[in-house]
A and B are shown apart, each in its own frame.
Chain A
Amino acid sequence: MRKFLAVVKHEYKKIVLKWTFLIATLLFPLIAAAFAVVPALIFSIKGDATRIIVVDQTGKIAPRIKENLSKETAEAAEKSEDESLENLTASQQEQMKRAAEQLEESFIFVEYNADAKPIEQIKRELNAKITGKELDAYLIVPPDYDAPKANFEFFSRKANDPVAKSTVRNAINGAVRSQRLADANISEDKLKNLSQNVDFSIKKISEEGNEKDSEGTFAAAFIVGLMIYITLLIYGQQIMAAVIEEKETRIAEILFSSAKPFELMMGKLVGVGLAGLTQLAIWIISALALAVVGLANMSAAGMSISLPDITLLTIIYFFIFFLLGFFIYATIYALIGSMVTTVQEGGQFALIPVMVLVVGFYMSFAVIRDPNSSLSFWVSIAPFLAPITMPVRILAETPPFWQIALSIALNGAAIAGLIWLAARVYRVGMLMYGKRATIPEVWKWIRQS
């Protein structure tokens, strides 16, 4: 036992007292933030204003489209939203404001006289303008705009921009709809009243019957999944590298003459696992502290934001599943490390656990979308996947206790099996120099002992 503790202490200090540990601890929150912010940033970057020509030989639709794409409408939309701002989260407000700002500057309408020219000629002329970079896009309104199969043609130098595409499509649909109503003799005032948007916000009912803000929950669940995924990956690789170092430098021989291989392997797993726990604890405590401080500031500023309700039990579950995952993957990595001869060779084999981890990470999205589907049930009790998916599911919507218990039991059994296997391979593999163990050889070691 004393030797086991010596190994634990050694492995723990080896990781925690290194400056890379400090950097990783500080870096993760930045990476997580980047994951959350960068996509939004990319979509919010304003391209140059699009110079656009709307060709409308009916003369009815073009003004409406222009109106829909113009500044005033966007501002009006923003104003109407102001009334309901209180019901929205900060991020939703931001999104809407951003969308409005984008509209403001995005389109410049270029005048073009299309009278009586045939369509072919118009297209030729406008295509030439686009090639000559005088114009970015043009839209051709068909004369039969009201027919069921009327085809609006949009030509653009950057037709793949999804934001521009949906903006234009919305503007056209809005314009045609308004025109149809106008054709049906409905006054403009009435029209505005009728087409007023309703407010729509999603709340989720928790077990206790409380309303919860579902966006916060989704974000928290995603971050939890990411956090477990990344730590399992990093610490698994650490274990493998440490095992290979001891094998490569032949230190294993000295270690094995001092303590039992099983003690050494378990000591390594536990030591590195504790280092991982330390890191997670730092993250969680600082995240909770930030959330509490942030919340206090915001409510002082008159804003009310609901946090996903994270209870002590949730945090305990989180650590339990992290440990389950850690022992599953760390054991696999230790096993691989004791079979191969170099880190490079180990890297190839390590692709297998990495792939399983990636599957678990992607499954957590399915779990976030529908925590009660049968898919969510199966992936959250399945060994290898559950350590990522179950904490996500617990956060999204806590499943019945028996499912959590079943998940813990199944993954615990998987760990016992893996450790049994790894101990047998480790004992022989660590002393085998020069060549990689083949699968039949490994099978022989497992059966012999």
Chain B
Amino acid sequence: MSFEVRAGRVFGFLGPNGAGKTTTIRMIVGITAPDDGQIELFGERISNETQNRIGYLPEERGLYKKMKIVDQLRYFAALKNVSQTEADKRIDFWLERMNLAEWKKKKTTDLSKGMSQKIQFISTVLHNPDLLILDEPFSGLDPVNVEFMISVVAELKAQGKTIIFSTHLMETAERLCDDIILINKSRKVIGGTLREVKGSFGKNLIALRCVGGETVLEDKNLVAKTTTHSDEMELELAVNADAQDLLKRLIENGAAISKFEEIEPSLNDIFIEKVGSI
């Protein structure tokens, strides 16, 4: 398996359970060493220095049960070489940002699960990392908090952070990611920008509702196959044909178009097809 993550973008690391996502991530953050091959971050081999520039939110995560929130966060920050004064500033900022300021002196046992999740997220970003690795970051959050966290992630992206986002929830991935890789059984199945992946997935389908233009639709160089539904048609474009060309030709031929839509396969479809077929 080989892939690249481009700086300043959100990279979706997708795959079914047990595909090897967590294992791969553990190698990137330096928890385990690869048997073979190599990993480079920010143009250098992974090391203790690169570790300090990563914020890692593991899928299985927790906090010290009987320790004050602020003390835990200070400890995690210190382990990333953040000075205490700097850490205190950022802890206050982030607790405020997450609306958890009044919980600063409370213990983990007093927090709800969603609150703990947010605290764990704070511990991931406290040292202002250049690369964020989020493994199923939204599991256990209610929809309102999921939306909130998505906005926080988008903010971080806008600040130029690179984000590796691992999940098996395709809807979220589709909303957040610029690039994706799909792996299964520790092999890369498909990868690239979201657009490329969808484009390369082959099914260039178009939903069309129009009156006239039949001659265009019969051109085998443009349309490979036509399926008629109740009031609209589903066209499969011919190889090398372009949807814009088709649209132009239809208009030139005087067709009255009420709907013309490129149907993209959803990540969910791709996931099911690719993973299910192996």
Chosen A-B contacts, 18 in total, with CB atoms closer than 8 Å, are A2-B81, A3-B79, A6-B79, A9-B78, A10-B78, A14-B67, A249-B63, A250-B60, A250-B61, A251-B62, A253-B31, A253-B56, A254-B56, A257-B26, A257-B30, A258-B79, A259-B79, A433-B60
Q: Which residues of B contact A9 (CB under 8 A)?
A: 78
Q: Which residues of B contact A65 (CB under 8 A)?
A: none
Q: How far does the alpha carbon of A214 sit from the alpha carbon of B58 in the complex, in Å? A: 62
Proximity string of chain A (193-208) to chain B, C-beta cutoff 8 Å, 1 when within and 0 when not: 0000000000000000
A6 to chain B, nearest CB (A): 4
Question: With contacts A2-B78, A250-B60, A258-B51 known, what are 20 further pairs, Cβ within 8 A?
Answer: A3-B79, A6-B79, A7-B79, A9-B78, A10-B75, A245-B64, A248-B62, A249-B64, A250-B61, A254-B76, A254-B123, A257-B26, A257-B29, A257-B31, A257-B51, A258-B79, A259-B79, A260-B48, A431-B26, A431-B32
Interface bin, chain B:
20 to 34
Q: Which residues of A contact B54 (CB under 8 A)?
A: 257
B72 to chain A, nearest CB (A): 9
B261 to chain A, nearest CB (A): 44
Q: Which residues of B contact A248 (CB under 8 A)?
A: 62
Choose among A245, A253, A431 the residue with the greatest number of B CB atoms under 10 Å from its CB. A253
Q: With an 8 A cutoff between CB atoms, is B220 at the interface? A: no
- Interface members, chain B 71-126 (any A CB < 8 Å): 75-76, 78-81, 123
Proximity string of chain A (361-387) to chain B, C-beta cutoff 8 Å, 1 when within and 0 when not: 000000000000000000000000000
Q: How far does the alpha carbon of A432 sit from the alpha carbon of B52 in the complex, in Å? A: 24
Proximity string of chain A (407-449) to chain B, C-beta cutoff 8 Å, 1 when within and 0 when not: 0000000000000000000000001010000000000000000
- Interface members, chain B 24-68 (any A CB < 8 Å): 26, 29-32, 48, 51-52, 54, 56, 58, 60-65, 67
A contacts, CB < 8 Å to B = 2-3, 6-7, 9-10, 14, 245, 248-251, 253-260, 431, 433
B140 to chain A, nearest CB (A): 13
Q: Which residues of B contact A255 (CB under 8 A)?
A: 79
Q: Which residues of A contact B56 (CB under 8 A)?
A: 253-254, 257
**Docked-complex contact A251 and B78, CB < 8 angstroms:** no
**Docked-complex contact B80 and A258, CB < 8 angstroms:** yes
**Docked-complex contact B62 and A6, CB < 8 angstroms:** no
**Docked-complex contact A6 and B75, CB < 8 angstroms:** yes
Closest-by-CB residue of A relative to B48 is A260
List the 3 shortest-distance A-B pairs measured between CB atoms, nearest first: A249-B62, A6-B78, A258-B79
**Docked-complex contact A251 and B63, CB < 8 angstroms:** yes
Q: How far does the alpha carbon of A258 sit from the alpha carbon of B30 in the complex, in Å? A: 9
A334 to chain B, nearest CB (A): 17
A12 to chain B, nearest CB (A): 12
Q: Which residues of B contact A257 (CB under 8 A)?
A: 26, 29-31, 51, 54, 56, 58
**Docked-complex contact A253 and B79, CB < 8 angstroms:** no
- Interface members, chain B 179-220 (any A CB < 8 Å): none
Choose among B29, B31, B56, B67 the residue with the greatest number of A CB atoms under 10 Å from its CB. B31
**Docked-complex contact A250 and B51, CB < 8 angstroms:** no
Closest-by-CB residue of B relative to A449 is B33
Choose among A2, A6, A9, A255 the residue with the greatest number of B CB atoms under 10 Å from its CB. A6
With contacts A3-B81, A7-B79 taken as known, whether A251 is within 8 angstroms of B64 at the C-beta atoms is yes
B245 to chain A, nearest CB (A): 51
Q: Which residues of A contact B78 (CB under 8 A)?
A: 2-3, 6, 9-10
**Docked-complex contact A256 and B65, CB < 8 angstroms:** no
Q: Which residues of B contact A3 (CB under 8 A)?
A: 78-79, 81
